[in-house]
Amino acid sequence: MNKKFLLLIILPLFLGMSCAGLPRFALPLQKVKIIEYPPLDWSINGQRLKDLGCAGNLSQSCPELFALGCTEITTPSFYLGGLQPPYPIVECIHANGTPADPTYFRQTAGLDSRYRSFVVLQEGEARLLIKKQQFQQLFAPVESAEEAISYAMAMTSLSARNDLDPNADLDYLVEMIQETHVEQVSDGYIVYLFDTDRQMGCGKHSFYAVTVHVKPEGEVQEITRHEIYRSYACFDFEALSLDSE
């Protein structure tokens, strides 16, 4: 047999076997295209709180929050600056045993065993809020793209992402990812958000791109969910979310 011809047959086979035996990190990573969108100004919710005089030592400047059973006050982990009416919202943490009114407080999953609730400062009154129905009655209808993002995040506990990096050390599983934005449709808004596998502990976690449909009357429905990358991460507790009932 012609030696040149034989070499042409053997060489590709050898290269294929060699590449198959390489460890995962030695192979080219999945290239991903990030469709970027500008983020909203999430700081406005905190500014609204300051505009009411709630700044510095909150136990002194806003004692009505602590009268509800709060021992700590923090801003929610999801961003609510786009909601209308523009009522300030904070997270009330009760760390001293069972809260006075357990109806409006609950414990999140994970290591953090303190009780939590949301407080809406509405027309001079501090109101505990934990139910989706109450939230819908207060903030629907949804009439803008900015409001749709905040409303969808509150009702689902999904996250906004406008910081994705195509060169990050992640195991990308798709060719394209769209950052958080809103598309207006005939019956409301489609909001592009993100989620994790919500497993506690450290290890390789899955991350998802999720679209939700927000109707003007305040109904929210998940439309699509796709795994977009995997990465090592540690999760020890979940953020507070609204109760379904």
Quick check: 79 pLDDT over 80? Answer: no
Q: Are 212 and 193 in contact (CB under 8 A)?
A: yes
Number of domains, the chain: 1
Is 121 domain-assigned? yes
pLDDT digits (tens, 9 = 90+) for 43-70: 787 788 888 888 888 888 888 888 999 9
Is 114 domain-assigned? yes
Is 165 domain-assigned? no
Instruction: Identify the DSSP state of 100.
Output: S
Quick check: 14 pLDDT over 70? Answer: no
Placement of tokens 């700590």 in the chain: 72
* Element containing residue 9 per DSSP (H, E): helix 3-20
- Give the range of the structural domain holding residue 112, as residue numbers without chain letter: 44-140
pTM over 0.95: no
The span from the CA of 93 to the CA of 154, in Å, is 17
Burial group, residue 91, by CB count within 10 angstroms (0-12, 13-18, 19+): middle
